[in-house]
């Protein structure tokens, strides 16, 4: 017998309520809004435990927020 589990996409995750002091350290990451090359980042487990964490970035220049997941 084979069972499959449907993967549920988390969709858009609102990080606007996260205090900038809690975002975390900075790293090299290209901002899609302004092109700056430094961003603060934070790792969050938003999907099932057997999948990788999602990285949330905040540009240190313009404040744009985006996320990056491994698929």
Does 30 map to a domain? yes
User: Domain residues for 51?
Assistant: 21-56
Instruction: Give me Rg for the CA atoms of the chain.
Output: 14
Does 64 map to a domain? no
What is the distance, to the nearest Å, from the Cα of residue 12 to the centroid of all Cα atoms in its chain?
Answer: 10
Question: Considering its fold, how many domains does the chain have in total?
Answer: 1
**Claim: this prediction has a pTM higher than 0.75:** no
Binned at pLDDT 50, 70 and 90, residue 65 comes out as very high
The residue ranges of DSSP E strands in the chain, in sequence order, are 26-28, 38-44, 54-59, 65-69
At 46 the pLDDT is 75
Higher pLDDT, residue 33 or 11: 33
Task: For residue range 23-37, list pLDDT tens digits in order.
Answer: 568 899 999 999 999
């Amino acid at each position: 017998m084979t069972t499959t589990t449907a993967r549920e996409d988390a969709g858009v995750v609102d990080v606007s309520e996260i205090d900038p002091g809690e975002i975390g350290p900075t790293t090299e990451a290209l901002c899609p809004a302004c092109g700056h090359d430094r961003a603060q980042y934070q790792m969050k487990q938003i999907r099932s435990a057997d999948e990788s964490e999602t990285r949330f970035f905040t540009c240190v220049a313009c404040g744009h927020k985006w996320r990056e997941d491994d698929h």
